[in-house]
Amino acid sequence: MNHTGKPSPWLRVTHARSKNGWAAITPLCACSLPAVARSAGSLLISMEVLGSLSHSLVAAPRFACCYRLPTIKEPMRKNPKVLLVEDDESLAASLQRALEVTGYSVQMAERVEQGLASAEQEDFDVVVTDLQMPGQSGLELIEILHTTNPHLPVILMTAHHTAGAAIAATKLGAYEYLLKPFGTAELLSLIDKAVTTRRLMSEPVEVGEATTAEDAIVGESRAMVEVYKAIGLVAARPVSVLIRGETGTGKELVARYLYQHGERADRALVVVNCPAIPENLLESELFGHEAGAFTGATARRLGRFEQANQGTIFLDEIGDISPSTQVKLLRVLQDKVVQRVGGKEDIQVDVRVIAATHRDLERAVDEGQFRGDLYYRLNDAVIRLPALRERKEDIPGLVNFFLKKHAAELGAIGSTLDPATEKHLQEQTWPGNVRELRNAVRKALLLAHGRAIDLAIIQKVLDETKIYRRVPARTGPTSSGADEPLASYVSELLDGAERGERQDVAAALTEWAERQVYGQAILLAEGDQTKAGKWLGVSRPTMREKLSRYNLRPATGQVREEQSK
């Protein structure tokens, strides 16, 4: 049980594989698991299921792995259930026999009305329906089913192929459009794929914290009023949106506001932080992969676009993706299809794309670093977020908001800000924008211990933050302190090399950059080493080793005093 009293969905894999292809699982709390078998206090779950969850792996010793299971609305079924709606009795009986022999459980219906009644009583993994039947049509069946269960795969059969019917079926979200006569093997293959897709759609998606935009977006300045207008103008429109602004200006909050006030607010929101995912894994993360596509790909996995089907995907820092990923993303936007890594099948997706970047994309296009056609596709609607220095009149309101939000959390109820300190905060440039201001307020609350936050406390916080905008202290004959800017440091290193005093300029600069990156990551993650490590694409032990190596305090991200001595 966790601290909320709810069962914890964590498993421990104690044996990698047994002879019959199953893995032995020891549950930390079995009552929350989609069990398919229980044996002597352990759970047995298919290796295929575990493979599909490989992206959720959080620890990977050879024979002791911990997995976090997704929330699944219904248990995994040994015999997937198929609803077959067909008025031709002979064909229906033939298909029923073939499906049941293969291991499917089949519910029959001769009319759409009967099929809908069955769907109200039972949960099905896939629906197979004829297009034209007495009464309501197969298209009407799809439309009604998808109002309550948008991810239910529906395979449409018809003997009368028309372009209009095919287009209508695709628009309504039909999984496949099958022309009669067809082979039984073809239908069975389609049903198998549909059932697999439905199972994989139960994998967890990153929806992040459910924060209402009204609580999160703070500001009454003219610049922010323009932002609110832009959000209101495009939120409910079916267009791609590009959010532009410096790091820390609140691009993800605006994306959530667009989602919450859009027409797809009742569907999935999938958030992808592009730079946080190693480049060699990003395509698999976005578009999925087939079993055997690369080393470690033991099972098919749906990508984020398929998980977001009929919903919204937010691609944070889109300007950082590689040219090859740009090509695939362009195809999604143009043709509404994805192709999994290692696969050849085009998979239809209907996803609203919201993207964000802090980069100058026009310049990136001019320099050949970003595709012009992708830029224009993303540029349907643009929302520009002002830097905090451009709306300093909002700083008092933001500070008060953060004080109220974090005071109880940090045990600092009663802390206030005097006018002189507030004015001092307004005079800062805040290169890290709202995120940096929020972190400063949190640190000040910790230092104040419930007392008033005065100028001395704020100045201490600001001085510590500035460490990461300066070159850290160095040892050696050329060291002159910790306050020299990077350009000066580089010049000093090169001068030393010219005099023959240094032969490690590249290594010194690499070490400097790494120290800055790890220090800033742990600072922005507020001491959370797991979160900082995820951003940087490194394990928690590596994060811990780097913090120790560069003498950084894990709790605050500050350089320890002895580092600058």
Instruction: State residue 237's pLDDT score.
Output: 87
For residue 235, the SS3 value is coil
Instruction: Kindly state whether residue 327 falls inside one of the protein's structural domains.
Output: yes
The per-residue pLDDT for 201 is 54
| Residue 23 contacts residue 36 (beta carbons within 8 Å) | no
**The domain that contains 365 carries what CATH number?**
3.40.50.300
User: Are 446 and 534 part of one and the same domain?
Assistant: no
| Residue 379 and residue 232 share a domain | yes
What per-residue confidence (pLDDT) applies to 4?
Answer: 40
Q: Residue 302 CA to chain centroid, in angstroms? A: 13
The model's pTM is 0.54
> Could you read off the pLDDT of 360-386 as tens digits, one per residue?
999 999 989 999 999 999 988 999 999
Confidence of residue 164 (pLDDT cuts 50, 70, 90): low
What pLDDT score does 465 carry? Answer: 67
In a domain, 4, yes or no: no
Residue 340 and residue 224 share a domain: yes
Q: Are residues 457 and 493 in the same domain?
A: no
- Phi first, then psi, for residue 251 (nearest 5°) are -65, -40
Mean pLDDT of 55-64: 30
CATH assignment at residue 432 = 1.10.8.60
**What is the per-residue pLDDT for 362?**
93
What is the tally of structural domains in the chain?
Answer: 5
Find the largest Cα–Cα distance for the chain.
93
Kindly indicate the confidence band of residue 50, based on its pLDDT and cuts at 50, 70 and 90. very low
How much is the average pLDDT of 47-68? 33
pLDDT at 480 over 70: no
Per-residue pLDDT, 509: 76
**Quick one: pLDDT at residue 551?**
74
Is residue 75, in this structure, part of any structural domain at all? no
The mean pLDDT of the chain is 75
37 vs 117: which has the higher pLDDT: 117
d(CA 248, CA 437): 9
Q: Residue 141: which domain range?
A: 81-200
The answer to which of 357-366, 429-438, 469-478 has the lowest mean pLDDT is 469-478
Report the CATH number that the domain containing residue 168 is assigned in CATH: 3.40.50.2300
Assign 553 a pLDDT band (cuts: 50, 70, 90).
low
Does residue 51 belong to any structural domain of this protein? yes
**CATH number of the domain where residue 491 is located:** 1.10.10
Q: Which residue has the higher pLDDT, 193 or 10?
A: 193
Last residue of some domain: 417, 436, 466? 466
Q: How confident is the model at residue 254, as a pLDDT?
A: 92
Question: What is the CB neighbour count within 10 angstroms for residue 78?
Answer: 9
Count of Cβ atoms closer than 10 Å to residue 471 Cβ: 21
Please state, in angstroms and rounded to a whole number, the distance separating the CA atoms of residues 144 and 76. 25
pLDDT computed for residue 27 by the predictor: 38
Same domain, 185 and 220: no
Tens of pLDDT, residue by residue over 220-248, are: 888 888 888 888 888 888 899 999 999 88
Q: Are residues 437 and 522 in the same domain?
A: no
- The answer on 445 and 324 residing in a single domain is no
Residue 207 has a pLDDT of 39
Share of the chain above pLDDT 90, in %: 26
Domain final residue, candidates 323, 355, 384: 384
* Residue 5: inside a domain: no
Q: For position 230, what pLDDT does the model report?
A: 86
CA distance 47 to 288: 18
Q: Are 142 and 231 members of one domain?
A: no
Region 431-441: mean pLDDT is 90
Instruction: Tell me whether residue 475 is in a domain.
Output: no
Q: If pLDDT is split at 50, 70 and 90, which confidence band does 552 have?
A: confident
Residue 544, pLDDT > 90, answer: no
Quick check: is 452 in a domain?
Answer: yes
Tell me: pLDDT of 359 over 70. Answer: yes
d(CA 547, CA 280): 26
Query: Is the pLDDT assigned to residue 476 strictly greater than 90?
Result: no
In the structure, what pLDDT confidence band is assigned to residue 31 with cuts at 50, 70 and 90? very low
Query: Does residue 207 lie within any of the structural domains?
Result: no
Instruction: Dig out the tokens for 69 from the structure.
Output: 């299971």
Least confident of 113-122, 339-348, 529-538: 529-538
Compute the residue count for the chain.
Answer: 565
Residues 186 and 250 in one domain: no
Residues 366 and 219 in one domain: yes
Please count the other Cβ atoms lying within 10 Å of the Cβ belonging to residue 232: 12
Q: What tens digit of pLDDT does each residue of 495-539 get?
A: 666 666 556 677 777 777 788 788 888 877 777 888 888 888 888
Per the model's pLDDT, the better-predicted residue between 56 and 507 turns out to be 507
End-of-domain residue from the set 329, 364, 384: 384
The pLDDT of residue 310 is above 60: yes
**pLDDT band for position 357 (cuts 50, 70, 90):** very high
Same-domain pairing of 377 and 340: yes
Question: How many CB atoms neighbour CB 235 within 10 A?
Answer: 19
pLDDT digit string, tens, across residues 255-309: 998 998 888 988 889 999 888 888 778 888 899 888 888 877 778 888 899 999 9
- Alpha helices for 174-221 (secondary structure H): 184-200, 213-216
Give the pLDDT mean for 535-560: 72
Residue 25 has pLDDT above 90, yes or no: no
Q: Which residue has the higher pLDDT, 185 or 480?
A: 185
Separation between Cα atoms, residue 250 and residue 267, nearest integer Å? 23
Query: Count of H helices and E strands in the chain?
Result: 22, 17
Contact 64, 28 (CB under 8 A): no
Q: What is the structure's pLDDT at 515?
A: 80
Q: Which helix (H) or strand (E) element contains residue 523?
A: helix 505-524
Q: Do 360 and 492 lie in a common domain?
A: no
